[in-house]
Structure 1
Amino acid sequence: MIRVDGRTLRCADVVTAARTGPLDIDVSIAALRAAEHAWKLADELSTRRVVYGRTTGVGANKDDTVAHSTEHGLRLLRSHAGGSGDPMPDGQVRAMMLIRLNQLLTGRSGISPELIGALADAVRTGALPLVHRLGSIGTGDLAPLAETALALTGERPWVTGHVPPVPVQAGDALAFMSSNAATLAEATLAAMRLNTLTRASHAVAALTYVALDGNPEAYATPVHEARPHAGQVACAAEMRRLLGMHHTPKPGRRVQDPFGLRAFPQVQGPALDAIHYLRDVLAVEINASTENPMISTVHGDAYHHAHFHTAYVSTALDQARATVHQVAELSVARLGDLVEPEFTGLRPFLAAGPPGSSGVMILEYVAHDALTELRQAALPATLGTAVVSRGIEDHASFSTQAARAATAACSAYQQVLACELVAAVRALRMREADLVDLPVRDAFEAASAVLDGSVDDRPLTGDIAAAVGILDRLARI
């Protein structure tokens, strides 16, 4: 059961929502009462002062006085429900709805209890509205959330299931749309996937280390105590754990390894730190009140602000993608070492057939192709901006695009890791390496159970797919 109270939603809960249709949620009664109090206050404030989006138009129409009415709210929803492109993936829609429900339960939106209840029912039953992918630039997911709201009112279609339609109350429209819940959903799913992949990469790198007879000095405690960045120290400690370096380990074959092994903690460390920071940012955002205006029952007033701007999210996503790209470069470099006889003592490309056999040669091509896709995905989304709504909204974070790029980065990075894993397992099999006393043996056995043991020249498509599929398990070893 997931507790939904506007304060304690976790990134892991968002992943659960994305994977599950009907969701067992416990909606806080106290939070519902606080939300109802804010709704009544917002309605009362709209009778005696200017409240953006309730007694005015929105965007450049902010100075247009309008009647505080249901008709105005419906016009706002209909005009903003102009999303386009492909439908948003089901998992992201489910995650978006859970995040939006949780945000509304912070009790500062001024939205009607009926609409909150309908959204909660949709989350519980697994009902999915038709939501389009395009329509956000990091200053509020207006189009996806307007489409969702209109589905709850019965005006737009459902892809799966449905809930009984509810009326839109005066002031509900902007209050429902004032959120980046769709962007946060994709960002959270990508962040958690990157977290899994970076944890799996320790096991993959450790297997390559054994296959190449790496030098343990690069991971030694005294080395990393001398420059104690948190992620770097954590990476070195994890490598020592996986490789059983509890005492003075035997020296490696080389005085110094190539950077793929030797600099792994120094390159992996920034990625671990960046993903940790990204998760911290998202943990704040999914429990934040972002509605503009904010209805404060404590102060009895409405506050106009810019919490819809998601610079924290976009910059954290850019940093995470950039650091993961560097880690992936090391993975490709280690793959190059694995096909080199000088490092393995085996035949070129880990071949085992007649002279001229190609072995795993194609893995380098696949890995570099995926790395290039990752490089494109790692380009900063925050270097541009947008000026919209007749110049009133003159900056955008593009967190939405940063989140999409993070999704693409996940897909590419797992392909890179899979290629290294296939080669490392083959090298270990061919060398008949002794892994009996090493914790990383569990990773070898898990991968060996799903990877074809044949060393004949053959298509490796299935091996790569199987390697991708085992990464989640390697992350837990």
Structure 2
Amino acid sequence: MLVVDGRTLRCADVALVAGHDVAVEVAPAAAERAEAAWRLVAELSAEREIYGRTTGVGANRDLTVEEDAGPEHGHRLLRSHAGGTGGPLPAPTVRAMLLIRLNQLAAGGSGAHPRLLPALAATLSSGALPRVHRTGAIGTGDLTVLAETALTLSGERPWLSGSLPPVPLDTSDALAFMSSNAATLAEAVLAALDLDRLLRASHVVAALSYVVLGGSPEAYATPVHAARPHPGQVRCAAELRRLLGMAGLPKPGRRIQDPYGLRAFPQVQGPALDALDYLREILTVEINAATENPMVSLSARDVFHHAHFHTAYVAVALDQARATVHHVAELSAARLGDLVEPSFTDLPAFLASGPPGSSGVMILEYVAHDALASLRQAALPVTLGTAVVSRGVEDHASFATQAARQATEAAAAYRKVLACELVAAVRALRMRPADLMDLPVRAAFEVAEAELDPDLADRPLSADLDAAAALLDTIADF
């Protein structure tokens, strides 16, 4: 049972609900807070103009809604904004979106009717899913996705799977429900956690390559990183020392200086670790925030018009994360190049095991650089663009939605790059198993060795790559 209170939701909770059947309920205090906000905004709406409740939205903000409009104005607002297109959002992302939106409503700033909270909790607990489209947001509110969700809850649109009794929606519920970036945040959270797992796995993969290549321990020495103590860099070097059993004075490597793939790994991996830490901090704030515009404040007993719908923090953090991960993936591809070079490994070219001219893992470099090219495209910053919409009234956009999508693509591409390096490193260690001796990273090698095909003859490596990509989630915990 996950209890939603509007204040303490974690990114890990979002991932749990996205991927598993979890019962969800609303904390009593959160339900009371939502009801108090709904009553307050109803009182204030009788005294003053409130955007989206007594007025139109966007460039229609100065047009007053007729007092006797009833719920029909809200339904028109939802129908007109339910214009998404493209393919459907994946089911895990939809579940994550529903949970985040529920938690934001539980924060008590929307003024939406409190019956929406148990309706969303019941949707999640029952496994029902609304059918929502992927395309239609620019980082200033997931209006199309949330309008489609609201119309599904009200019984006006069919469910993708499962169903619930229709929930009545009033005019005051329309903008209050739509005013959120819950879908963008859902994809961002899931992508961030995927990237985090891959970065943790990359410590293990790099350590295996280090063993094959006979790396120099000096690059990871504590005095080196104490001299420039960036948190991520220090953490990466410590992880490599742990995995490689570098206690006291380890034996020197084969070379006085290694290629950058090994020697600069902490300096390149470090920024990525720091960027993911920052991204998780930003996302944790966002998924627990009352971001609705206008926002109801119970403490001030007032309603405020503002710009919390703008997700510049999210967009910038996602851009930074993708850029740093691209650099890390470049080093993985570089290490793969070292692994197939006899002068670095003292093994046959391309780790081949067969007659002269055998290709071994030659093709892995092509696969890795194909994936790296995709990652490079996904790493391009979205924050260099903007948009002017709604007759010039809304004159800036963060494109955080696109940044989140590209983070998903970046994670998939990075997984392929790392899988190529893992397949090559395991193959090399099979050819020279004594290198591992009693190193802590040997446990990860043994797990990978048990899953990957031991046949060293020239053969298709597609199944190996699929198995290695799946293994990354497991070895991330070593």
TM class by shorter-chain length?
A: over 0.9
Q: Do 2:211 and 2:435's aligned partners in 1 also have CA atoms closer than 8 Å?
A: no
Matched, 1:168 2:160: no
What's the offset of the Cα at 1:27? 1.5
Q: Do 2:26 and 2:118's aligned partners in 1 also have CA atoms closer than 8 Å?
A: no
Q: Secondary structure at the match of 1:113?
A: coil
In the other structure, the counterpart of 1:248 is 249
Q: Following superposition of structure 1 onto structure 2, how do residues 27-426 of structure 1 map, counting pairs within 5 Å?
A: 27-67=26-66, 69-426=70-427
Q: Do 2:53 and 2:172's aligned partners in 1 also have CA atoms closer than 8 Å?
A: yes
Q: Secondary structure at the match of 2:269?
A: helix
What's the offset of the Cα at 1:116? 2.0
Aligned structure 1 segments of 4 or more residues deviating by more than 4 angstroms:
none
**2 CA distance for matches of 1:73 and 1:117?**
20
Q: Do 1:3 and 1:9's aligned partners in 2 also have CA atoms closer than 8 Å?
A: no
Question: Number of residue pairs matched?
Answer: 476
Amino acid at match of 2:58: G
Q: Please list the CA deviations of residues 89-108 of structure 1 after superposition, one character each: whole Å capped at 9, or x if unmatched.
A: 00100000000000000011
**2 CA distance for matches of 1:426 and 1:342?**
17
**TM-score normalised according to structure 1 size:** 0.99
**2 CA distance for matches of 1:106 and 1:417?**
40
Amino acid at match of 2:457: D
Matched, 1:8 2:8: yes
What's the offset of the Cα at 1:433? 2.8
Does 397-406 or 434-443 show the bigger shift?
A: 434-443
What's the offset of the Cα at 1:321? 0.2
Q: Secondary structure at the match of 2:303?
A: strand
**1 CA distance for matches of 2:332 and 2:434?**
21
What's the offset of the Cα at 1:173? 0.2
Does 375-384 or 432-441 show the bigger shift?
A: 432-441
In the other structure, the counterpart of 1:440 is 441
Does 1-10 or 208-217 show the bigger shift?
A: 1-10
Q: Please list the CA deviations of residues 153-173 of structure 1 after superposition, one character each: whole Å capped at 9, or x if unmatched.
A: 000110110110011123000
What's the offset of the Cα at 1:389? 0.2
What's the offset of the Cα at 1:407? 0.2
What's the offset of the Cα at 1:463? 0.4
Q: Do 1:6 and 1:31's aligned partners in 2 also have CA atoms closer than 8 Å?
A: yes
What's the offset of the Cα at 1:363? 0.2
What's the offset of the Cα at 1:48? 0.8
**TM-align CA RMSD:** 0.8
Q: Please list the CA deviations of residues 335-380 of structure 1 after superposition, one character each: whole Å capped at 9, or x if unmatched.
A: 0000000000011100010000000000000000000000000000
Q: Secondary structure at the match of 1:159?
A: strand
Amino acid at match of 2:453: D
Q: Secondary structure at the match of 2:367?
A: helix
Q: Following superposition of structure 1 onto structure 2, how do residues 15-26 of structure 1 map, counting pairs within 5 Å?
A: 15-20=15-20, 22-26=21-25
Q: Secondary structure at the match of 1:433?
A: helix
What's the offset of the Cα at 1:72? 1.0
Q: Structure 2: any 5+ residue segments left out of the alignment?
A: none
Q: Please list the CA deviations of residues 402-443 of structure 1 after superposition, one character each: whole Å capped at 9, or x if unmatched.
A: 000000000000000000000001111111234232110011
What's the offset of the Cα at 1:4? 0.6
Q: Do 1:100 and 1:179's aligned partners in 2 also have CA atoms closer than 8 Å?
A: yes
**2 CA distance for matches of 1:387 and 1:170?**
27
Amino acid at match of 2:35: E
Does 190-199 or 431-440 show the bigger shift?
A: 431-440
**2 CA distance for matches of 1:258 and 1:119?**
53
Q: Structure 1: any 5+ residue segments left out of the alignment?
A: none
Q: Please list the CA deviations of residues 139-162 of structure 1 after superposition, one character each: whole Å capped at 9, or x if unmatched.
A: 000000000000000001101101
Q: Do 1:8 and 1:287's aligned partners in 2 also have CA atoms closer than 8 Å?
A: yes
Does 371-380 or 164-173 show the bigger shift?
A: 164-173
Q: Secondary structure at the match of 1:171?
A: helix
Q: Do 1:267 and 1:327's aligned partners in 2 also have CA atoms closer than 8 Å?
A: yes
**2 CA distance for matches of 1:418 and 1:170?**
52
In the other structure, the counterpart of 1:457 is 458
**2 CA distance for matches of 1:471 and 1:43?**
52
**2 CA distance for matches of 1:147 and 1:436?**
58
Q: Secondary structure at the match of 2:251?
A: coil
Q: Do 1:382 and 1:398's aligned partners in 2 also have CA atoms closer than 8 Å?
A: yes
Q: Do 1:211 and 1:433's aligned partners in 2 also have CA atoms closer than 8 Å?
A: no
Q: Do 1:4 and 1:27's aligned partners in 2 also have CA atoms closer than 8 Å?
A: yes
Q: Please list the CA deviations of residues 17-51 of structure 1 after superposition, one character each: whole Å capped at 9, or x if unmatched.
A: 1102x422231001100100000111111111000
**2 CA distance for matches of 1:192 and 1:43?**
40
Q: Secondary structure at the match of 1:26?
A: strand
**2 CA distance for matches of 1:231 and 1:2?**
32
What's the offset of the Cα at 1:117? 1.9
**1 CA distance for matches of 2:148 and 2:227?**
54
Amino acid at match of 1:39: W
**TM-score normalised according to structure 2 size:** 0.99
Does 67-76 or 335-344 show the bigger shift?
A: 67-76
Q: Do 1:96 and 1:184's aligned partners in 2 also have CA atoms closer than 8 Å?
A: yes
**2 CA distance for matches of 1:45 and 1:72?**
19
What's the offset of the Cα at 1:242? 0.2
Q: Secondary structure at the match of 2:160?
A: strand
**1 CA distance for matches of 2:153 and 2:99?**
14
What's the offset of the Cα at 1:462? 0.4
Q: Do 2:24 and 2:122's aligned partners in 1 also have CA atoms closer than 8 Å?
A: no
Q: Do 2:25 and 2:121's aligned partners in 1 also have CA atoms closer than 8 Å?
A: no
**2 CA distance for matches of 1:3 and 1:244?**
42
**1 CA distance for matches of 2:137 and 2:476?**
33
